[in-house]
Structures are given as structure tokens and as C-alpha cells.
């Protein structure tokens, strides 16, 4: 036997014409599961889980409460709904009832047992048909969405790895079989991994740019390649804004959103300091703003790595951090040389140790390719030249070596970070 929930206009309503109901229930193979008021319709259905609901509607002028209750299901009630009305509903009310998922209705007065049984049967038949159609539409939509995810993931692999469509599809299918997942699920995961890898790269660029802009300011005051420093400063500011704009489009969790907001505040303060006329006395304050932006960007990159929840994304973060260290080392060497800042001098050794340790980790990482190995070898050579510039920062030649090697390392680790970001291990992780 299937259950029926009776819904009345109010808490204590007594509808006399429902006398045929009890006689009709056995013929309709239904049992009365419970009785409640219109205002509690949704809660009562959730509590009793009936096969059908029979609603004794209030007068037409008092239907608002019932319609409000029905809207909670957005036209997709969990079971068949029948309505007994005091009078035949007008066309406008009929349209509203259909839109809200009511399958059948009848006038209460004069309704006999056969009429009630027919009303319940009609509502059940219509509800089953609508539920079947919805299931078909949902299945078709799911297949269409899956096809879109697969096509996008194939395009990503083809672009990132320079492979053909058949090979890209083979990679996705192989990963799906290996992980025992649907092809659409794997495709979506691939796209999400690529998105978080790019986000980490972008946040890492903000770390680097904080130190690059501070270095360029010191470089300009030290009159080292001044014209070039002005060009790079404009380019760096534009790059910061482009990365902030991109990161602002992501659906970040609460931690990520807070860290991004912190980055924006730190950037506003730093850019304001950059716009002021620089002098040797103001460089320490400018560097403090650069350090604040660095710390905020570091927190954001770590939050993005945690959100991505893929171990392979860590390599993108490690590599991106090397760009920042090269810029910080050159900046601190210039600050120590030009202004004799003890804090900058004290940071040199720890930064060199961190850079060397990370470089060794990247060289030993199993995630590699011929492109990555060649770029790492070139970065190792450039790193040695940068160290030479640090040792000779008191000379014009040493300062020029600092500037050139820090920019060369920036380009190398930009290439490396992009290579890791687009590597098959990261994308397919």
C-alpha cells in the first residue's frame, strides 16, 4: 500500500465533503499517512514521505499561503499533488498551479468515491510521466555537459603538450580507466588542476613583482641602467594589475578571498609609495611595503595550493618562488651597497641558502622533461653569475651583473614555472 498525506486549509479545518476519501483509499491502494495544514506542507511531506498529497485548498482569495508553500519545490514536487477546490480555478490560477507542480484538481462539492479515486490516479500518472521526462532531460544535459568538459580538456592537453586530438583523448580515457571514474569527471578534474596551477603561478608572480619593483627603484637611484629600469617598472605595474584582475575572477574559498583582499590592500599601499618621489631616505619604507606585499602574495599562493588539493601543484609554487628570490637577492644586494642597510645585508645569506635548496629540489624532482632539464641547467649557470654580482655589488660592473642576472633568472623561472604548469603530471594529477 502507498501512503497519502492530507493537507487542510488550517490547523483545525474540517472538510465535510471529504467523507468519500476513506472509502476511496482502498480502491486506490492508499493509506492515510497523516494530516497537516497548508502552511506546513513542505515539512509534512519531508516527515511522512507520502506517495501522494491531497490538498484541500482554501477559498480562491486565500490561496497565497498555499502557493507560497508550493514555491519551495520550484515546480518539482517529490510526489504527486492533487487539489480539491471550493470552486473551479480560473485560467490564471490554473497556470500557476501547473507551474508549481500540481498535477490534477477537482471541485470538492459533489465529489464521490469514484471521482476522488480518478483524481488521485490522474495525478499519479501525470507525476510519473513528468518525473520520467525530467530524468531524461537531466541525463541528456549531463551527457552534453560531459561532452563539453571532455572537449575543453582535450583542447587544454593539445595546447599545453602540443599533441593531437586522438592522443589527448587517449590520455583522458586512460586516466579515467586507471582512476575508475567517468571520462567527464576526469576531464573536469584536469581543467580544475590547470586552473589552480595558473592561479598559483599568478600569485607567485605577485611575490616576484613586489621585489622586482623595489629593486628597480633602488636601481634607478643607483643610476644603473636607468632607462631600462623605467621600462621594466611600467611593465611590472601592468603585470601586477593583470594578475590581480585574473585572480579576482576565480571562485575562491573564504581563506583565498581574504588573502586576495589582503594582497590588494598591500598593493595599494606599495603602489602609492612607488608614485612618490623616491629618495635614499624613503627606500627603507618602500622596501617595507614591498615586503608586506610579498608576505600577502605568499599567503595567497599557499592558500591556492591548498585549495587545489593536488600534490603536483607544489612544484609550481616552489618554482615560482625562485623568481621572487632572485629579485629579492638583487634588491637587497643593491640596498646594502647603495645605502648600507644592515637588514638588507643580513637577508642575503638566508635568501641564497633558500634559492640553492629550492634549485636542488627542482633538479632532483621526478617531474621533469628535456625542456625542464635544459632550462634548469641554464638557470644554474645564471645563478652563479648572480652570486658573482652579489660579491661585487660595490662596483659598477657588479651592480650591472646583479641587474642582468636577476632579469635572466626571472625569464628562466618564468619559463620553468610555465613548463611545470603545463606538464602532463600537473595537469593529469
H or E element, residue 107: strand 104-107
Quickly state the pLDDT bin for 177 (edges 50, 70, 90): confident
Bridge partner list, 8: 37
Kindly tell me if the per-residue pLDDT of 301 is higher than 70.
yes
Widest distance between CA atoms in the chain: 107
Give the pLDDT band (50/70/90) at residue 161: confident
Mean pLDDT of 150-166: 84
- On the CB side of 215, CA atoms within 13 Å amount to 30
Q: Are strands 104-107 and 30-37 parallel, antiparallel or unpaired?
A: unpaired
330-342 mean pLDDT: 90
**Residue that the C-alpha cell 592561479 belongs to:** 199
Q: Is 323 exposed, middle or buried (0-12, 13-18, 19+ CB in 10 A)?
A: buried
Tens of pLDDT, residue by residue over 363-375, are: 998 877 888 899 9
The pLDDT value recorded for residue 347 is 94
Give me the pLDDT at residue 205, please: 95
**Mean pLDDT for the stretch of residues 24-40:** 77
pLDDT tens-digit map of 184-242: 888 888 888 888 888 999 999 999 999 999 999 999 988 999 999 999 999 999 999 99
What is the structure's pLDDT at 12?
56
Specify which residues 178 forms β-bridges with: none
State what percent of residues in the chain have pLDDT above 70: 92
Instruction: Tell me which of 262 and 26 has the higher pLDDT.
Output: 262
Distance, in Å, from the CA atom of 273 to the CA atom of 60, rounded to the nearest integer, reads 68
Residue 27 has pLDDT above 70, yes or no: no
Three cell numbers, residue 134: 525530467
CA distance 80 to 37: 17
Q: What is the model's pLDDT at position 424? A: 66
Mean pLDDT, residues 84-96:
86
Q: Which region among 132-136, 138-142, 234-238 has the lowest average model confidence (pLDDT)?
A: 138-142
pLDDT of residue 361: 93
- pLDDT for 13 equals 53
Q: Where is pLDDT greater, at 2 or 91?
A: 91
Query: What integer best gives the mean pLDDT of the chain?
Result: 87
Per-residue pLDDT at 15: 55
Which set of grid coordinates corresponds to residue 296? 600577502
Helix (H, G, I), strand (E, B) or coil at 351: helix
Do 290 and 210 meet the contact criterion of CB atoms below 8 Å apart?
A: yes
Least confident of 125-129, 247-251, 423-427: 423-427
CA separation for the pair 254, 262 (Å, rounded): 12
pLDDT average, residue stretch 411-426: 84
**Residue 397, number of CB atoms within 10 A of its CB:** 11
Helices marked H in 162-182 — which ranges?
165-179
Q: Report angle CA 62, 66, 67 to the nearest 5 degrees.
A: 100
- Compute the half-sphere exposure of residue 405: CA atoms within 13 Å on the CB side of its CA: 27
Report helix angle 396-421 to 183-221, nearest 10.
170
Phi/psi of residue 56, each to 5°?
-90, 100
pLDDT score at 427? 67
Cα separation, 25 vs 22, whole angstroms = 5
Q: Reading across the β-sheet that carries 52-56, which strands appear in turn?
A: 30-37, 2-8, 52-56, 80-85, 104-107
Residue in the block written with cell 638566508: 350
Tell whether the torsion through CA atoms of 58, 61, 65 and 67 is positive or negative: positive
Residue with cell string 571514474: 181
Q: Which residue has the cell 502557493?
A: 67
Give the integer Cα–Cα distance in Å for 302 and 307. 9
Structural domains of the chain ordered from first start: 2-134 (3.40.50.280), 190-427 (no CATH)
DSSP string, 259-321: HHHHHHHHHHHHHHHHHSPP-GGGHHHHHHHHHHHHHHHHHHHHHHHHHHT-TTHHHHHHHHH
Cβ atoms within 10 A of the Cβ of 81, count? 26
Query: 104-107 and 80-85: which strand pairing?
Result: parallel
Amino acid at each position: 500500500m502507498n501512503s497519502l498525506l492530507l493537507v487542510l486549509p488550517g490547523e483545525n479545518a474540517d472538510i465535510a465533503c471529504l467523507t468519500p476519501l476513506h472509502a476511496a483509499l482502498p480502491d486506490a491502494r492508499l493509506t492515510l499517512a497523516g494530516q497537516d495544514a497548508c502552511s506546513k506542507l513542505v515539512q509534512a511531506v519531508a516527515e511522512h514521505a507520502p506517495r501522494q498529497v491531497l490538498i484541500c485548498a482554501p477559498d480562491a482569495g486565500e490561496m497565497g499561503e498555499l502557493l507560497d508553500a508550493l514555491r519551495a519545490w520550484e515546480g518539482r514536487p517529490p510526489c504527486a499533488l492533487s487539489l480539491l477546490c471550493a470552486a473551479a480555478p480560473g485560467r490564471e490560477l490554473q497556470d500557476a498551479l501547473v507551474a508549481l507542480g500540481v498535477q490534477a484538481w477537482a471541485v470538492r462539492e459533489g465529489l464521490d468515491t469514484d471521482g476522488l479515486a480518478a483524481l488521485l490516479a490522474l495525478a499519479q500518472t501525470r507525476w510519473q510521466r513528468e518525473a520520467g521526462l525530467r530524468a531524461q532531460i537531466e541525463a541528456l544535459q549531463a551527457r552534453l555537459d560531459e561532452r563539453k568538459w571532455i572537449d575543453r580538456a582535450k583542447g587544454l592537453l593539445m595546447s599545453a603538450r602540443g599533441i593531437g586530438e586522438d592522443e589527448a583523448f587517449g590520455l583522458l580515457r586512460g586516466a579515467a580507466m586507471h582512476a575508475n571514474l567517468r571520462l567527464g569527471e576526469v576531464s573536469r578534474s584536469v581543467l580544475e588542476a590547470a586552473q589552480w596551477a595558473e592561479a598559483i603561478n599568478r600569485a607567485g608572480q605577485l611575490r616576484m613583482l613586489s621585489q622586482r619593483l623595489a629593486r628597480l627603484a633602488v636601481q634607478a637611484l643607483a643610476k644603473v641602467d636607468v632607462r631600462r629600469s623605467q621600462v621594466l617598472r611600467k611593465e611590472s605595474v601592468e603585470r601586477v594589475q593583470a594578475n590581480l584582475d585574473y585572480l579576482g575572477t576565480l571562485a575562491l574559498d573564504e581563506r583565498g578571498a581574504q588573502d586576495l583582499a589582503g594582497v590588494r590592500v598591500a598593493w595599494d599601499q606599495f603602489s602609492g609609495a612607488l608614485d612618490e618621489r623616491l629618495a635614499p631616505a624613503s627606500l627603507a619604507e618602500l622596501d617595507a611595503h614591498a615586503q608586506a606585499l610579498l608576505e600577502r602574495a605568499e599567503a595567497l599562493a599557499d592558500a591556492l595550493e591548498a585549495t587545489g588539493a593536488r600534490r603536483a601543484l607544489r612544484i609550481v609554487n616552489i618554482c615560482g618562488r625562485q623568481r621572487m628570490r632572485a629579485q629579492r637577492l638583487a634588491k637587497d644586494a643593491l640596498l646594502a651597497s647603495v645605502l648600507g642597510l644592515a637588514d638588507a645585508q643580513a637577508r642575503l645569506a638566508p635568501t641564497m641558502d633558500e634559492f640553492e635548496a629550492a634549485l636542488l629540489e627542482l633538479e632532483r624532482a621526478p617531474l621533469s622533461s628535456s625542456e625542464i632539464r635544459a632550462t634548469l641547467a641554464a638557470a644554474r649557470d645564471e645563478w652563479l653569475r648572480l652570486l658573482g654580482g652579489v660579491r661585487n655589488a660595490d662596483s659598477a660592473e657588479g651592480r650591472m651583473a646583479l641587474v642582468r642576472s636577476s632579469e635572466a633568472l626571472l625569464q628562466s623561472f618564468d619559463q620553468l614555472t610555465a613548463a611545470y604548469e603545463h606538464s602532463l603530471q600537473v595537469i593529469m594529477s
